[in-house]
Amino acid sequence: MNKRITIKQIALALQVSISTVSKALNDSYEISDETKKRIQEYAKLHKYKPNTLALSLQNKKTKTIGIIIPNILNYYFARVLRGIEKVATEKGYNIITCITNESYKKEVDTMEMLSNGTIDGFIACISEETLKLGNFDHFHDILEEGTPIVLYDRVPQEINCDKVVTDLVKSAYKATRFLMKSSCENIAFISASEALNIGKFGLEGYLKALEKYNVNPVKNLIIRQDSEKGLKEKINKMFDKYPVDGIFTVDEVSGAITTQVLNKRFVRIPEDISIVGLTNGILSRYSSPPLTSVNRFAHTTGEIAATRLIDKIEGKIEFDDVKIEVVKSKLVERESTKKLFIKF
Amino acid sequence: MNKRITIKQIALALQVSISTVSKALNDSYEISDETKKRIQEYAKLHKYKPNTLALSLQNKKTKTIGIIIPNILNYYFARVLRGIEKVATEKGYNIITCITNESYKKEVDTMEMLSNGTIDGFIACISEETLKLGNFDHFHDILEEGTPIVLYDRVPQEINCDKVVTDLVKSAYKATRFLMKSSCENIAFISASEALNIGKFGLEGYLKALEKYNVNPVKNLIIRQDSEKGLKEKINKMFDKYPVDGIFTVDEVSGAITTQVLNKRFVRIPEDISIVGLTNGILSRYSSPPLTSVNRFAHTTGEIAATRLIDKIEGKIEFDDVKIEVVKSKLVERESTKKLFIKF
DNA sequence: ATGAAAGCGCTAACAA
DNA sequence: TTGTTAGCGCTTTCAT
C-alpha cells in the first residue's frame, strides 16, 4: 500500500551508496554533478520525499509547535490561531492544534502526549477547568523538561513562562468610560462568562470606571452568570425595573442577547440605550445595529506568541528570559453608541 | 536543556541492557518481576516518556491525522473540526490542523509536507482557489502513495476517495419551499458566497423549488456576489423597487446584512418579510430576530469523516472501498419566519 | 531471565 | 568523489 520511496531504494536502484544519495539530494558539493543529476532525476521521477519523522528524530527538532485551544468555536481563539498559523508558516513551522474543550483532563493528556518529541514548543491557553482547579503541574513538568511554552489570554502567575495578554481591566475601563462620556447615567453590566478572565477583569474595569467618575455601583444593574441560560429573562426584568441607558457587555453572546431583548421591546439603540461590548467578533459586527466594542487584536496576539516561541525554540532567546507582552486594545465605534464629538 | 530521559540512559543507570529496559517498560513476560519493578520505578521517578517519533518511525504509523481547513473563522468548519476532534480523541488519534486560507499553494504545500510520514491520513476540505483552478494532482499523488483521504463539504468528482457532504440542493430546496408554504410570493435569493458550493447549489435548489411551484424566477430578485462588498446597497435597491416578502440567504453574512437592512428600514420580520438561511451558525442564532435556517450538522459531518478515515487507516475498510456519505440537513424554525400550521 | 544486534529513514563524521 | 559506519530512540528477533 505504502509506495513511498526511500533513499535506500534509490541507492539500490542506482547502484550507489545510501550516503551518496543523501548527499546528492541535499545538493552537497562532495558529489559530482553527474551523479547528483542522475540521483535527483530518479528521485523526482519516483516522487521521493524525505521522511519527516526520521529527520526529526535525527535533528531533535520537529519544526512543529503544539497549539492548545480551549474552544475553537470561540471567535477570539479562532483568530488567535490564525495569527499563530501565519507566523508559523512563514517560519517554516507546522502547527498541531488541540482543542481541550475547557477540560483539565483533556489538557493534561494532550500536552503529555505531544511533549514527547512531537513538538518543539507549546502555545497554550489554559482551560477553564484547569484554571478553577488551580493545578498547573503539567505546565511545570513540561517547562522543566526544557520545552518552551507561551501562554496567551489566560495566564496564571504561578506558571513561569512567556505570556501574551490583553489588558482586560483597562479595556473594560475604557469601554465603560466611553458610555459615561456619551452621557449614560445608569450603566448596566452584563456577563455570561463569569468564570473567565473576561468576566472577572471586565467587572473590575467597569467598577474602576464608575469609581473614577464617582458613580456608585448599583447591585441590580449587574448581571453575572456563567452561561447564557435565563439571561434574557434577567435582562428583561432589569429593564422593567430600572431606567438603564447604557450597557456594558462582557462577551459577545451577552451583547447579542441584550440586543435581541432591546429590539423586541422596541427600545431604540443607541437613542434610548447604548451598548458597548468587551469582545469584538462577528456577532458584534453583524448585529442589528452593529455593536461598538473593544477589539482585542487576537490576530496580533497569535503573531506575537508564535514569534516569541519560535525565537525561543531556535535559541535566539534564552530559555529563562521570560516576558509578558501586553497587547493593546482599541474601541471600535459602531452604531450601538452615540457619536462623541469630544474625543478624550 | 532537554532533560527527557531515554531507555538508553535508564539501561546505563541500572546496569542492564537496552532491550531489557524496553521489555520491562512494556511489561513483557520475559522480564523478572523484580527487574521490571526496579526499571519501572526508575522510569517513573525520572518521568520517562517514550519518544513518539521513534515509535512512529518504527511502526510506520503515527496515530495522527491531518485536517485541512480552508478557513477556521468559518463557523461551519470550526464545528466540523470539533466533530473530527471528538472521534479522533476517542480512538487515540492526534490531529494536526492546517488552515489553507482558501489558497491553492498553501494547500499543496501543507499536504505535501504532512504526507511524508507525519500523518496516517487526511480529512480535507478543498480550498476555493483549488476548486477554481481545478487542479487536483496533489490529491491524486497522495492517494497513489496509499495515504487515505476523506473529503468533506467540497467534493470534486475527479477525486476518487471517501467523501462526506450535505445535500445542499435539497437543503436549499427545502428552505425555499418553506418560504412558499408560509405564503411568500416574491422570494429573493441573496448570496455573498458565489464561488462556493453553497452559492452554486443554493441557487440550484432555490430555482428548483420555484419551478416546482410554478413560479417564474425574477432576475432582479437574485443577488449573487462573492463577497459582502456593496451588498447592503444592492439589497436596499432591491427593496426600493420590488415587493419582496420572502428572502432566502445562502450564507450567514448575507442573512445578517439582510436583517440589518430590514431593521433599519423598520420592516417587520417576519410580519412583512420572512427570512430563511442556508447556513445555521451563531449569526443566525443570535440575530435580531433569530433566523430560521437549515442546519447542516457540521459536527456529525466531522464525526463521520473521522470514523471513516480511521477505519481505513486501521485497515478495517479496503483502501479502494470508496463511499460518499450524505449527511441530512434540517430546517430549524426560529423567529424570522411565520409559524406554519400545516406541516408538510 | 537477560542481552546482542538489526532495523525504521536519515545524516554526518570519517575513511577510502 | 564516493562509501562505510555510527547513531537518533525504540522494538523485536534471536541468541545466551
CATH topology of domain A58-166+298-328: Rossmann fold (3.40.50)
Closest residue to C5 measured CA to C1′: B19
Q: How far is CA A117 from CA B3, B51, B53, in A?
A: 12, 6, 6
Lookup: cell for A306: 508564535
Instruction: Evaluate the CA torsion angle B308, B309, B315, B320 in order and state its sign.
Output: positive
Strand C contacted by A12 CB (< 7 A): no
* Closest CB from A72, A256, A289 relative to B286: A256
Does the distance separating the beta carbons of A73 and B73 come in below 8 Å? Answer: no
- As a rounded value in angstroms, the CA-to-C1' distance for A51 and C10 is 8
Lookup: cell for B107: 494547500
Q: Kindly report the pTM of this predicted structure.
A: 0.89
* CB count in 10 Å sphere of residue B33: 8
Strand D contacted by B116 CB (< 7 A): no
Encode pLDDT of A235-247 as tens digits. Answer: 999 999 999 999 9
- Residue B219 pLDDT grade (very low, low, confident, very high; cuts 50, 70, 90): very high
Does the distance separating the beta carbons of B49 and A72 come in below 8 Å? Answer: no
B57: the nucleotide nearest its CA (via C1') is C8
Backbone angles phi, psi at A56, to 5 degrees: -65, -40
B20: the nucleotide nearest its CA (via C1') is C2
* CB count in 10 Å sphere of residue B336: 26
Strand D contacted by A10 CB (< 7 A): no
Asked if B145 and A2 count as a contact pair (C-beta separation under 8 A), the reply is: yes
| HEC sequence for A95-106 | EEEEECCCCHHH
Encode pLDDT of A249-287 as tens digits. Answer: 999 999 999 999 999 999 999 999 999 999 999 999 999
Q: Give first-to-last CA distance, chain A, whole Å.
A: 68
Chain B neighbors of A141, CB-CB under 8 A:
47
Does the distance separating the beta carbons of B50 and A53 come in below 8 Å? Answer: no
Identical topology for domains B58-166+298-328 and B168-296: yes
- Residue A340 pLDDT grade (very low, low, confident, very high; cuts 50, 70, 90): confident
H or E, element range at A33: helix A33-45
Q: Which residues pair with A265 in a beta bridge?
A: none
pLDDT of residue B314: 93
Residue type, B47: K
Backbone angles phi, psi at A65, to 5 degrees: -120, 145
- d(CA B20, CA B17) in angstroms, rounded, equals 5
Searching chain B, which residue's CA lies closest to the CA of residue A289?
A: B260
Searching chain A, which residue's CA lies closest to the CA of residue B291?
A: A260
State the number of CA atoms in the 13 A half-sphere of B305 facing the CB. Answer: 38
Contacts of B10 (CB under 8 A, 6+ apart): B21, B39, B42, B43, B46, B48
Say yes or no to pLDDT of B344 above 80.
Answer: no
Domain boundaries defined on chain B: 7-50, 58-166+298-328, 168-296
Encode pLDDT of A158-177 as tens digits. Answer: 999 999 999 999 999 999 99
Encode pLDDT of B293-337 as tens digits. Answer: 999 999 999 999 999 999 999 999 999 999 999 999 999 999 999
CATH topology of domain B168-296: Rossmann fold (3.40.50)
| Cβ–Cβ contact A49 with B under 8 A | yes
Q: How far is CA B16 from CA A136, B3, B8, B24, B28, in A?
A: 35, 21, 9, 11, 15
Say yes or no to pLDDT of A82 above 70.
Answer: yes
Asked if A87 and A303 count as a contact pair (C-beta separation under 8 A), the reply is: yes
Encode pLDDT of B133-158 as tens digits. Answer: 999 999 999 999 899 999 999 999 99
Does the distance separating the beta carbons of A290 and B287 come in below 8 Å? Answer: no
Does the distance separating the beta carbons of A60 and B4 come in below 8 Å? Answer: no
| Cβ–Cβ contact B89 with A under 8 A | yes
